[in-house]
């Protein structure tokens, strides 16, 4: 009998024996196996190695060979991953791991919602609001470029950086721009680059849940700073810096998510001045710059910043498509060097074809036409949703009718609870966002965020409110 056939025969015998033994049981020694089966030491060694490769046994030098923990139960179709609880012991759970797990907690309902569900929970445009034809044409033109598949620079393509610099303001240079793969990854990079673990980071209350998840994943402690009808309050911000010693502020000055507030000009200057006086960075999340409802949008905070206090974050995913994963960071000074270094560690560069497509899209008249059409459509949808609420749920009054963005922010009348309403809405075929996840600490009241951009059309918005009213009354 050849060595190969002897090994195969012994593997088969031992595999059957292992199947009948409990996890952790010790197999006979190599000497015993040689004597019992009349094979050589090489055959035994190869057989044990084969079983170890299959995950059936583990070898411990000096102790012997033992039956491994079984990864699946005999006769079960589902894998048994309970062993991972031990392997992951001592490692803290990722703060974003349950992002969206609460009722009404996710922005992406497409994969889990039953057929017929109307989404008021989305953070992106419905496909019929996206510039699908312009995107397709831009991607086709980009793919025809002879260098389309070459490696892109770590900082991004020069033409794209120039376009994004112009959008950020006259004081921003292309070399101040770092192209990123969308906004969420850039936000995660910023938190890790700027603040040390266990440091406080000041945030508006309420604020974007993705920012809270990213901050906590970076080991930071979000500290709430209340807002009023005009947004972040400079006096309370100064107090928060003084009390916490924070060196980082995250805020959304334009069409704040979820409330829709826009910081007025005087407060915009004060907020930057307060951060500068504290020796702190200010992360300006400008996700909604292209989502105005036809009215002029204030210039970004970074446009008037000269000493690197403001780090500006923008993205094309909101006004274009969730799959156009192109964003940008604008930063000056040593922090930009740190961000470039992190880019090389995280992902090297953003895919060149996607960057080339973004250049093509932003360089054509079709982009400006899309933004004008989008602004009109969003304004109309906002009015339709507000009107439907006033008719069918008059006690659900929006905190404000926003002049831009994708959402209405509602304070629910007592004794309604946001989680219970979100559950009832889901049963009625409507996806909404419960308000509790937007607060870094205990929410002062029950709120809902209702989006008007993810539904297919205005009729769906009216129908969604009708379903909500019937669900709550029931």
Strand pairing report for 310-315 and 281-285: parallel
Q: How many separate domains does the chain show?
A: 3
- The verdict on 459 and 310 lying in the same domain is no
Phi-psi region of 345 (alpha: psi -120 to 50; beta: other; left: phi over 0): alpha
| Nearest residue to 453 (alpha-carbon basis) of 130, 103, 203 | 130
Cite the beta strand spans of 352-423 per DSSP E. 407-411
What pTM was estimated for this model as a whole? Answer: 0.80
Phi-psi region of 451 (alpha: psi -120 to 50; beta: other; left: phi over 0): beta
| 151: phi then psi, degrees, rounded to nearest 5 | -65, 135
Q: How far apart are CA 306 and CA 290, in angstroms?
A: 24
User: Are 190 and 203 a contacting pair, CB within 8 Å?
Assistant: no
Question: 363, 391, 421: which is the final residue of a domain?
Answer: 363
- The verdict on 253 and 181 lying in the same domain is yes
Domain span holding position 42: 3-67
Flag whether 72 is in a domain: no
- The verdict on 261 and 357 lying in the same domain is yes
Flag whether 109 is in a domain: no
- The verdict on 348 and 373 lying in the same domain is no
| Nearest residue to 300 (alpha-carbon basis) of 186, 168, 177, 174 | 168
User: Are 314 and 183 a contacting pair, CB within 8 Å?
Assistant: yes
CATH number of the domain at 270, please.
Answer: 3.40.640.10
pLDDT in tens, the chain (474 residues): 455 678 888 999 999 998 888 888 889 998 899 999 988 888 998 999 998 888 888 888 878 898 888 765 555 556 677 767 767 766 666 565 445 444 444 455 445 667 889 999 988 999 999 999 999 999 999 999 888 888 999 999 999 999 999 999 888 999 999 999 988 889 999 999 999 999 999 999 999 999 999 999 999 999 999 999 999 999 999 999 999 999 999 999 999 999 999 999 999 999 999 999 999 999 999 999 999 998 888 999 998 888 899 999 999 999 999 999 999 999 999 999 999 998 888 889 988 999 999 999 999 999 999 999 999 999 999 999 999 999 999 999 899 999 999 999 999 999 999 999 999 999 999 999 999 999 999 899 999 999 999 999 999 999 999 999 999 875
CA atoms within 13 A on the CB side of 92: 7
- The verdict on 304 and 156 lying in the same domain is yes
- The verdict on 15 and 29 lying in the same domain is yes
User: Are 197 and 174 a contacting pair, CB within 8 Å?
Assistant: no
């Amino acid at each position: 009998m050849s060595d190969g056939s002897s090994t195969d025969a012994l593997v088969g015998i031992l595999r059957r024996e292992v199947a009948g033994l409990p996890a952790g049981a010790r197999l006979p020694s190599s000497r015993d196996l040689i004597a019992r089966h009349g094979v050589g030491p090489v055959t035994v060694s190869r057989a044990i190695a084969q079983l170890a490769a299959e995950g059936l046994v583990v070898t411990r030098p000096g102790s012997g060979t033992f039956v491994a923990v079984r990864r699946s139960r005999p006769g079960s179709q589902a894998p048994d991953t309970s062993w991972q609880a031990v392997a992951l012991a001592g490692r803290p759970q990722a703060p974003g791991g349950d992002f969206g797990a609460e009722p009404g907690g996710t922005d992406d309902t497409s994969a889990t919602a039953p057929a017929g569900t109307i989404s008021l929970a989305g953070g992106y445009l419905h496909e019929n609001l996206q510039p699908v034809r312009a995107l397709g044409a831009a991607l086709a033109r980009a793919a025809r470029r002879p260098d389309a598949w070459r490696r892109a620079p770590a900082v991004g393509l020069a033409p794209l950086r120039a376009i994004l610099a112009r959008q950020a303001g006259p004081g921003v240079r292309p070399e101040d721009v770092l192209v990123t793969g969308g906004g969420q990854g850039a936000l995660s990079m910023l938190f890790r680059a700027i603040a040390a673990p266990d440091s406080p980071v000041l945030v508006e209350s309420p604020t974007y849940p993705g920012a809270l998840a990213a901050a906590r994943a970076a080991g930071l402690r979000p500290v709430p700073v209340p807002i009023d009808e005009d947004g972040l309050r400079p006096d309370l911000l100064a107090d928060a810096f003084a009390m916490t010693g924070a060196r980082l502020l995250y805020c959304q000055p334009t069409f704040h998510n979820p409330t829709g507030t826009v910081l007025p000009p005087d407060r915009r200057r004060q907020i930057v001045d307060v951060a500068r006086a504290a020796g702190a960075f200010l992360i300006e999340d400008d996700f909604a710059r292209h989502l105005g409802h036809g009215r002029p949008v204030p210039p970004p905070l970074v446009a008037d910043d000269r000493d690197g206090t403001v780090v500006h974050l923008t993205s094309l995913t909101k006004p274009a498509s969730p799959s156009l994963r192109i964003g940008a960071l604008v930063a000056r000074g040593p922090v930009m060097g740190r961000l470039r270094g992190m880019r090389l560690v995280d992902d090297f560069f953003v895919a060149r074809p996607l960057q080339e497509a973004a250049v093509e899209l932003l360089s054509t008249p079709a982009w400006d036409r899309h933004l004008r059409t989008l602004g009109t459509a969003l304004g109309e949808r906002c009015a339709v949703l507000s009107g439907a609420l006033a008719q069918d749920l008059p006690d659900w009054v929006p905190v404000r009718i926003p002049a831009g963005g994708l959402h209405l922010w509602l304070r629910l009348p007592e004794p309604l609870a946001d989680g219970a309403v979100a559950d009832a809405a889901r049963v009625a075929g409507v996806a909404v966002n419960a308000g509790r996840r937007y607060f870094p600490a205990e929410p002062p009241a029950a709120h809902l965020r209702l989006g008007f951009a993810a539904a297919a059309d205005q009729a769906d918005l009216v129908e969604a409110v009708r379903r909500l009213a019937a669900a709550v009354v029931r």
